Amino acid sequence: MSAVTALLVALALQAGEQVEKAAWDPRDAGPDRIDVSAYPPEMQQRYLLFSQKCSKCHPVSRPINSRFDPADWKRYMKRMIRRAGSGINEEQGAEIYEFLKFYAGQVGGKR
């Protein structure tokens, strides 16, 4: 992620947009963070973007505990980009998708 993208993420978060939160889901009760310290630096940066953007609408535990394969994540991210108030643009969606695809490879895809 470029420094400009990181700055834009920070500014968007400071704007404090109000977004309607999603209804509770059983995956919300699972772990709510990932230890990314051993991940490549670009994945660590993408994780920050992922956790900041995705937590606007639902707990971060929801995607962390979803065992989607890359194709599922691509469809899901397209939906999230279109979601009103998500604040996720195409470039950010691509960065988040790359993180989720990497993460799916670490933990396995579909259960």
Question: How do residues 85-95 score in pLDDT, each as one tens digit?
Answer: 899 999 999 99
Flag whether pLDDT at 21 surpasses 90.
Answer: no
Q: Does a structural domain hold residue 53?
A: yes
- Per DSSP (E only), the strands in the chain are none
CA dist 104 and 106 (Å) reads: 5
- At which residue do the structure tokens 């991940």 appear? 39
- pLDDT given for residue 22 in this prediction: 82
Q: Does a structural domain hold residue 59?
A: yes
Q: List the domain range (segments joined by +) for residue 56.
A: 41-111
Q: Does a structural domain hold residue 77?
A: yes
Please give the average per-residue pLDDT across 14-24, as a whole number. 66
- pLDDT given for residue 26 in this prediction: 81
Q: What is the DSSP letter of 31?
A: -
Flag whether pLDDT at 12 surpasses 60.
Answer: no
Report field, pTM of the whole predicted structure over 0.75? yes
Lowest average pLDDT, out of 2-11, 19-28, 75-84, 100-109, goes to: 2-11
- Asked if 28 contacts 62 with a C-beta cutoff of 8 angstroms, the reply is yes
Q: What pLDDT digit, counting tens, does each position of 33-52 carry?
A: 999 999 999 999 999 999 99
Q: Does a structural domain hold residue 11?
A: no
Q: Does a structural domain hold residue 110?
A: yes
